[in-house]
Amino acid sequence: VEPFLYSGKSMATAPFSPLVLQVRDRLQSYLGSDYDCALLNLYPDGKSGMRYHSDPDQGRSWDYDTAVVSVGQPRKFSFRANQRAADDEVFTYHVFDGDVVHMFGD
């Protein structure tokens, strides 16, 4: 598997730890999807997070199927259209420790 490039960073690949394998296997069983990679981000406080984005190479290097597992403190998780008009809605959900957000389709 190639390194994952985003936000000017190159994330080196490494084998799944036993814990990540266990989470991956449960997701695959529950969602009926196959996952062969994982990206883990640490947000050390309630002020850090991730901006709106679309994943690079999605649809070319991998499928339109992403599962986000929330671990730790609650967070707001917001969605909006990529090609956004001024009147487009923003959808915000509160995710808690152990919640899964499953995004799929175009």
Ordered by start, the domain boundaries in the chain are 4-104
Percent of the chain with pLDDT over 90: 16
- Rounded-to-integer distance, Cα 84 and Cα 57, Å: 20
Name 51's Cβ contacts closer than 8 Å, sequence gap at least 6.
Answer: none
pLDDT on residue 26: 94
CB-CB contact of 79 with 66 (8 Å): no
- Rounded-to-integer distance, Cα 63 and Cα 67, Å: 12
* Average pLDDT of span 4-13: 78
- In the three-class reduction of DSSP (H, G, I as helix; E, B as strand; rest coil), residue 22 is classed as helix
30: DSSP letter: H
pLDDT on residue 57: 62
pLDDT tens-digit series, residues 25-62: 999 999 998 888 887 777 777 777 777 666 666 666 55
CB-CB contact of 43 with 75 (8 Å): yes
- The pTM (predicted TM-score) of the whole model is 0.72
- Rounded-to-integer distance, Cα 58 and Cα 55, Å: 6
